[in-house]
Structure 1
């Protein structure tokens, strides 16, 4: 009895395992009411209804469209105990609604101990689905072959013993051979390696290492079409099954002939560069140096290899340089180029050398290597010192020139003032006008040497000092006029050629306002505005609320010298004049700023 129970238990366990297994054949057990007692994953997938959804439901409920076709056969098994084997039928299932699928099935009676039929064992294969899957598999394989053949890289498959079983088109065409020339041969005996016995021996060893689970990689020189040679980056990697066992090996390679050629060119450029070049490893040691660096520091190239780069830095800069190098090595990708730094280097004989050092990360290196560029800047520093000294001398000279010109103009203004004391009233007025013109020019030179800029000056501050000078002059004569200046402190830079005519023009216009706009000691307002247009043109506008110009008076037509000067000054500035109708007097003129490249400022 005990053995019978064990056998029945084993049978139950076996049936459960059978129905749970991922088999290509659909299995189901139906009771006498044609309800699903159990069905395996394959049949559930064929039907399009999960095992949990189908269990306990009838075939009529699960497959309503197919049941009228299947019911007579199922009843024959239940009622007659018939065995229906390998019959074919076309039915519609939920997985493909509206479409007939071809099935091959067997219905077998399941009998009890007394021989009575208790249910039906169903074995079924969806032939249509299998055909569709086979077609998809063939298409997938064809697509995979198409993809592999379209790759420029060399790809193949070896069995575990190293025999070539598959190769894509690229290595065959590059070698000018056919697949049948190499398939089925040990990989090391194929055409690509037949020129080098040592290389063949290395490949045998590489196959053994890959069989042990190791990926092997190396640059190799292989034989190609017409017995030519190509340098490839070769890799042999193991391919494992679900159990982790190495079942196949995958060789792959890419053409790196250009890279090798580039490396040779790099080596040539590296060696012949006039600046010192070196590669520094993560430990701060020199791993590669060129002749220029060795010559600069008084060593041979062999003496420098392996030496700490800090040995090339003077004692005063060594600690700072080592800290910068450590920081750079920690994150070399963070900066494409470190700022060049002036460092005092130390030659092999202990003498100092003025150098400039730049650091560049090497992105293709596996380790964070750094390329350092070292330039001898001793001669440049000496030349710069000479240029700075000459520039200082010229600056001092220009300051002295402008200072003396200003002083001479002030002397002329003083002489005019002295002369006016002995002249009649009309002559005194003319001499004072001339004096103001001379002082306007003197102010230009004063500002130039005060600001140490001998090419241009800011118009805003210049106008404030010039107009204040004129305002104070007339205020001393008892005139009460409010003067307002609207001009930016920065952004309106005019050159020396523009400053003098501009100053004289503003001087003439303001003088005219103070002298004629407010007769009989009356008060008033004068507003001077200066601005820059988007087209880089200076706009100057002078407006007063005085009595206005006499009818018919225009710049260049009046009897005064000042009004006769205005068109001449405007021509020097390339200015455009506009005279607006009253009340008061409003005159505007506009002239271009100097080009940016000439002034050196935006």
Structure 2
């Protein structure tokens, strides 16, 4: 069958279609009107002859920008466009607004070649109430769209933008007239980036095939600023399922994108810390399956990350320690943090590794416990070093005990030699030797106490003075002196280092000797009292100026109920050795000495500052 000529087709159409209540038009590939029936010519407020041979932009310019893209799309793609709503005016003076529903079909010859477009256009004739309701409905829809923060647009099937809501226009600082009628990829938001324009064209093509596209992209906004949006392009279908428009939309995700980037940086920093850690970091789920394994874990236990992940953590446990894992998981499931403990783990090559392990529960974003994180540190070398240090300490302790024992013995030998010498000298010389023996015994007593004690650096001052007073009293028993000696203390542990314990003991020895020699008349009964107490600086105005002392001090008082000191008594006098030695010992102690004397007796008060532990006491 031969193709019907255009003239024959026009004659046929005129006979059939001039009186139907629907518009029919035929346009060629140049969009020139080749046929229009009487109904549609009247709807355009023009005669047929005024329209034939012309493009829509020449006789209905106000709506040509809407119609012509649709016509070109049909010609280019050979796809019909159905139920296309067209709003506007014909362009004629005082012409009313029109609302048309058009269907455009490709006009093909028998070989399938597209010759143009056949349009079937229905001019909706509705009453004023219906028209008003429609306009109000459309206005409400536009208001809703304009008040959405989401970016929403409407595209023709060829990608031409016909509408955009207020949000993207305001964000970009433009108006609808700046973008309406443009291909969407040529609009302000996308034209800054050729790659982005290509993506938009691909999204349009996929939407024409009924596919939805969704991707994150950076679009241009006011002052050239870029905004990250969650973009989507979707087809819009009518009740018959035909694609009538394309709907681009987008949500501002700048903050989310910023947070995601910050999270990536944080995760990168975290992984860097984990990977560079010297401690093995191993995580597991509540079934005991290894889920994370850092390089330090590989160095400690021999397994690579690939070998360890997905394996039971009991792979690392010696046979006798498997039950330990069950108990640990139960505690972790209760949310317990497991403090460091020492245990054994098995290296890949089979040897045991001594480790210190700390375990903490792992939680998800809702606070639910999903596993545990272990920190493991090799303590094999540390334990060996501790053992060596302990052995060395024991050896040194034993040596120091031996040193104190030998010093004590040597001082006792000196005391014995003096005792032998005292038998061959006068009574005055023997008394002087006896006093020297008491001083030597006070020094030997310090070394004896240190030898018997676990503490080799400090002397228990209460025990020391108690024994010293007893020794002094025994030394004068042969003189049959009815003198009572009393030691008073608060049962509080008061210690002095070796360097200060000896001068302290010598001071007490000298004061006791002086009291027994000079405070009482021959065969007179008397009493000597030694009082030891610790005080705080707040309770006394006497405060040492030394920067090496604490805010507390030791008060040592030696008193008697004898005749008191001579009226001309002066510390440092040459007549008494004790009067010369005591100020020297007080100075060594960095202490203060107060002397009180009357006919009812004498009292000597020594205040010894307590020093900070670990301070340098060298003078």
Q: Does TM, normalized by the shorter one, top 0.5?
A: yes
Conserved 8 A contact 2:151-2:167: no
2:406 is matched with 404
In 2, the alpha carbon distance for the partners of 1:470 and 1:377 equals 54
Query: Which position in structure 1 is the counterpart of 2:449?
Result: 447
**Backbone CA RMSD of aligned residues:** 4.4
Maintained 8 Å contact 2:229/2:251 = no
Question: 2:560 pairs with 529, 541, 544, which one?
Answer: 544
Describe the shift of the 1:179–1:290 C-alpha distance in structure 2 as closer, same or farther (beyond 3 A): farther
State the Cα deviation string for residues 18-44 of structure 1 (Å, max 9, x = none). xxxxxxxxxxxxxxxxxxxxxxxxxxx
Counterparts of 1:508 and 1:233, CA distance in 2: 95
The residue that corresponds to 2:272 in the other structure is 268
1:517-564 per-residue CA deviation (whole Å, 9 max, x = no partner) reads 233222222222222332222221111111212221233215222222
Deviation for aligned residue 1:472: 3.1
The answer to whether residue 611 in structure 2 is matched with residue 594 in structure 1 is: yes
2-structure distance, mates of 1:259, 1:481: 86
The alpha-carbon deviation at position 278 of structure 1 amounts to 1.4
Match of 2:573 among 529, 532, 557: 557
Q: Is the 8 A contact 1:156 1:164 kept in 2?
A: no
SS of the residue corresponding to residue 279 of structure 1 reads strand
**Are the aligned partners of 1:555 and 1:567 in contact in 2 as well (CA < 8 Å)?**
yes
Query: Which residue among 218, 223, 242 is the counterpart of 2:218?
Result: 223
Out of 320, 325, 330, the position equivalent to 2:324 is: 320
Structure 2 length-normalised TM:
0.58
Aligned-residue offset at 1:460: 2.1
Task: Report the Cα offset of residue 286 of structure 1.
Answer: 1.4
Aligned to 2:356: 356
Provide the rounded CA distance (Å) in 2 between the counterparts of 1:595 and 1:232. Answer: 66
Shift of 1:581: 2.6
Where in structure 2 are the equivalents of 1:140-159 lying within 5 Å? 156-157=149-150
State the shift of 1:418 in Å. 1.8
Residue of structure 2 equivalent to 1:566: 582
The secondary structure found in structure 2 opposite 1:574 is coil
Matching of residue 301 in structure 1 with residue 302 in structure 2: no
Check conservation: 2:484, 2:527, Cα contact below 8 A. Answer: yes
Given the alignment, which residue of 461, 464, 470 partners 1:462? 464
Give 1:230 deviation, angstroms: 9.1
Q: Taking structure 1 as the reference length, what is the TM-score of the superposition?
A: 0.59
1:575 to 580, 588, 591: 591
Q: How much does 1:441 deviate?
A: 0.4
- TM-aligned CA distance change 1:359 to 1:551, over 3 Å: same
SS for the counterpart of 2:522 is helix
Provide the residue aligned with 1:49 in structure 2.
Answer: none
Residue 533 to residue 278, structure 1, CA distance change in 2 (3 Å):
same
For residues 386-416 of structure 1, the C-alpha deviation after alignment (integer angstroms, 9 at most, x for no partner) is 1111111111111100111011111111111
Question: CA distance change for structure 1 residues 180 and 393 in 2, over 3 Å: closer, same or farther?
Answer: farther
Measured against aligned partners, the alpha-carbon deviations of 1:214-249 in whole angstroms (never above 9, x if no partner) come to: xxxx9x965266999999999xxxxxxxxxxxxx99
For residues 292 and 549 of structure 1, do their structure 2 counterparts lie closer, same or farther at Cα, with a shift above 3 Å needed? same
**Residues 94-113 of structure 1: CA distance to partner in whole angstroms, max 9, x if unpaired?**
xxxxxxxxxxxxxxxxxxxx
Q: Secondary structure at the match of 1:345?
A: strand
Q: SS in structure 1 opposite 2:568? A: coil
The C-alpha deviation readout for 1:170-199, integer Å capped at 9, x for no partner, is x95xxxx4587999999xx9879968969x
Secondary structure in 2 aligned to 1:354? strand
Whether the aligned pair in 2 keeps the contact of 1:166 and 1:183 (CA below 8 Å) is no
User: Residue in 1 aligned with 2:496?
Assistant: 494
Distance in 1 (CA, whole Å) between partners of 2:151 and 2:229 is 19
Structure 1 residues 267 and 551: alpha-carbon distance in aligned structure 2, compared to 1, 3 A threshold:
same
Partner in structure 2 of residue 343 of structure 1:
343
Task: Decide whether the 8 Å contact of 1:360 with 1:371 is kept in 2.
Answer: yes
The answer to whether the Cα contact below 8 Å between 1:456 and 1:599 also exists between their aligned partners in 2 is no
- 1:546 and 1:584 in contact (8 A); partners too: yes
Q: Are the equivalent residues in 1 in contact too, given 2:219–2:228 (CA < 8 A)?
A: no
Provide Cα deviations, 1:321-345, integer angstroms capped at 9, x if missing partner. Answer: 431342033214xx4xx42111111
C-alpha change, 1:500 and 1:300, in structure 2 (3 Å) is same
Superposed CA offset, 1:494-532 (max 9, x none): 211111111111110112122222332222222222223
Look up the match of 1:379.
381
Structure 1's 550 and 364: CA in aligned 2 closer, same or farther, altered over 3 A?
A: farther
Gaps of 5+ in 2: 1-146, 155-162, 208-213, 232-248, 537-550
Structure of greater Rg: 2
Tell me if the contact between 1:460 and 1:488 (Cα under 8 Å) persists in the aligned partners: no
Q: Take 1:388 and 1:365, find their aligned partners in 2: how far apart are those partners? A: 48
